[in-house]
Amino acid sequence: MNNGFMRYYKRERVTAECEILTPMFLGGPDQSAQWRAAPFKALLRKWWRVAHGQGLKHDELYQKESELFGAAGEKGSDLGKSRVIVSLWADAKSSEERMPNVPKVNQPECQRNNGDVSPLLYLAGMGLMAPNGNVKHSYFKPGEKFQLTIEAGKDDIEKLKPVLRLIQAFGTIGGRSRNAWGSFSFKIGDEFLAEPKFESWEKGFERDYPALLGRDDAGALIWKTVPSQKDDKNKWESAMTVLADTYIAVRARSLSVKGKTLDKLNPGEGSANERHLLGIPLTNHAAFDKKARHASPLHFKVVKLGNSYHGVILHLPHKHSDQQPILDKNKTKQIEVWKKVHQKLDAISSIQRATMAELR
């Protein structure tokens, strides 16, 4: 059989029933809310690299990814044709309702309002929200449902199983999705899921892009929020509030850990420093071009476990890009900063280590 025919031979179709858990700013070219399959295919590609990237050189990883998902290739080449077809069904309408009012959290470096800030605004940024809670773009509301269908050959579906498991646990989509916006549940038959492998987290610093799931002596680099008596466990915004407060604590507060003080991450005085490892731009990032970007290796999501909403934090370990100035090109300094981040996360009482088994 020729390759063109094999691409459609013995294919399987997998359908996931999904529910939006936090506002989903899934936009079209004009940034207004729009249902499109392309971002979900990009989501598959992202988590495929994480699930299958360890042990592969960059060009090998790109080749395998391109063979599966397609890429721009030579004229007449099969490389540009995707073996995976993603389709989407949804009838949810967009909304422009303002975000709910939630208790403020303290950001000690904020010069206004005694440091009290809106946790939702902190996670959304001024690109999505105004300080009064109004949104700048339409979005799809929590509670709305949609179907995601993935079609591929039998062998390819087998390789996608750990990828689908990662999307179930950590997948978010749309604007500011690394900060838990666009979280959604992902219900799919267990036969289409496979548990991914976790490696020693320091191996991740052999690459300047995420290509493995990390673990240390305490377990997988996964944390989840622990609702307190004052938290409304039935509201997504309560989980987002804890995530925002945790992020502020890691970045901008000093914490006492076993009698030792862990200082806030140094934002630098016009130069690259510790805090830039968690994402660029910062308020103070004069060391970089105004267009410089570095996506945070910390990924936030809101999940629904039973009737309770929990925030989830995942660290995907990798080295900072060599294309930008950062501390020291030697990975040793970067690893030391991330050890500090892990220690701070372990010390915060409102979160605790989690396992993949809990996120199902």
pLDDT tens, residue by residue, 71-80? 865 554 555 6
So what's the pLDDT on residue 73? 59
**Residues 6 or more apart from 314 whose CB is under 8 A from it?**
169, 170, 221, 222, 298, 299, 300, 301
Confidence label for 276 from pLDDT (cuts 50, 70 and 90): confident
**Per-residue pLDDT at 169 exceeds 50:** yes
**Per-residue pLDDT at 82 exceeds 80:** yes
Q: H or E segment at 90?
A: strand 85-90
Cis peptide upstream of residue 281 (ω within 30 degrees of 0): yes
**Per-residue pLDDT at 55 exceeds 90:** no
**Per-residue pLDDT at 113 exceeds 90:** no
Rounded to an integer, the average pLDDT of 291-314 is 92
Q: How far is CA 334 from CA 279, 306, 331, in A?
A: 13, 38, 5
> Would you say 120 and 237 are in contact if contact means Cβ atoms under 8 Å apart?
yes
Buried/exposed 258-273: b ≥16 CB within 10 Å, e otherwise: eeeebebbebbeebbb
So what's the pLDDT on residue 78? 55
**Per-residue pLDDT at 50 exceeds 70:** yes
The letter for the amino acid at 21 is L
Rounded to an integer, the average pLDDT of 103-122 is 92
Report the distance separating Cα 82 and Cα 267, nearest Å: 42
So what's the pLDDT on residue 1? 41
**Per-residue pLDDT at 142 exceeds 50:** yes
- 1-95+141-191 maps to CATH 3.30.70: yes
> Would you say 292 and 279 are in contact if contact means Cβ atoms under 8 Å apart?
no
So what's the pLDDT on residue 284? 52
So what's the pLDDT on residue 329? 64
**Per-residue pLDDT at 266 exceeds 70:** yes
Q: For all residues of the chain together, what is the average pLDDT? A: 90
Q: How many CA atoms lie within 13 A of 171 on its CB side?
A: 27
Q: How far is CA 253 from CA 2, 108, 340, 345, 348, in A?
A: 60, 7, 12, 12, 11
**Per-residue pLDDT at 302 exceeds 50:** yes
So what's the pLDDT on residue 269? 73
**Per-residue pLDDT at 2 exceeds 50:** no
Residue ranges, CATH 3.30.70, the chain: 1-95+141-191
**Per-residue pLDDT at 40 exceeds 90:** yes
Which residue in this structure is represented by tokens 């005694």?
114
